[in-house]
Amino acid sequence: MRRIFALLGLLLAPLAFLAVTLAPRTAHAKAGASIGEALRLEVPGSPDAFYYKPRAKGPKPILMYLHGRGGNPAEDCRKWAKVGSQFGWVVCPAGPGDNGTGGRTWSDAGAAQKVIDGTVQALREKYKGRVQRRGNVLIGFSEGAFVAMQIGLKDQTTWTKWLILGASEQYWGTDVTDALDSEKRKVRRVYLLTGENDGVAQNTVKVGDTLKKNKVPVKVRLVPGMGHEVPGDRMVSTYRRPLAWLVAAR
Is residue 19 situated within a structural domain?
no
Distance CA(94)–CA(49), nearest Å, equals 6
Is residue 15 situated within a structural domain?
no
Is residue 89 situated within a structural domain?
yes
Is residue 12 situated within a structural domain?
no
**Domain residue limits at 136:** 39-97+110-169+180-247
> Which amino acid appears at position 93 of this protein?
P
Is residue 234 situated within a structural domain?
yes
Contact 194, 219 (CB under 8 A): no
Per-residue pLDDT of the chain (250 residues; tens, 9 = 90+): 444 444 444 444 443 433 333 333 333 334 345 689 999 999 999 999 999 999 999 999 999 999 999 999 999 999 999 999 999 999 999 999 988 787 999 988 999 999 999 999 999 999 999 999 999 999 999 999 999 999 999 999 999 999 999 999 999 988 999 999 999 999 999 999 999 999 999 999 999 999 999 999 999 999 999 988 888 888 999 999 999 999 999 8
Whichever domain contains 47, its CATH number is 3.40.50.1820
Largest CA distance in the chain: 85
Phi-psi sector, 58: left (phi>0), alpha (psi -120 to 50), beta: left
The structural domain count of the chain equals 1
Give the CA angle between residues 34, 39, 40 to the nearest 5°. 150
SS3 183: coil
Is residue 2 situated within a structural domain?
no
End-to-end CA distance of the chain: 66
What is the model's pLDDT at position 229? 85
Distance CA(90)–CA(78), nearest Å, equals 9
Is residue 1 situated within a structural domain?
no
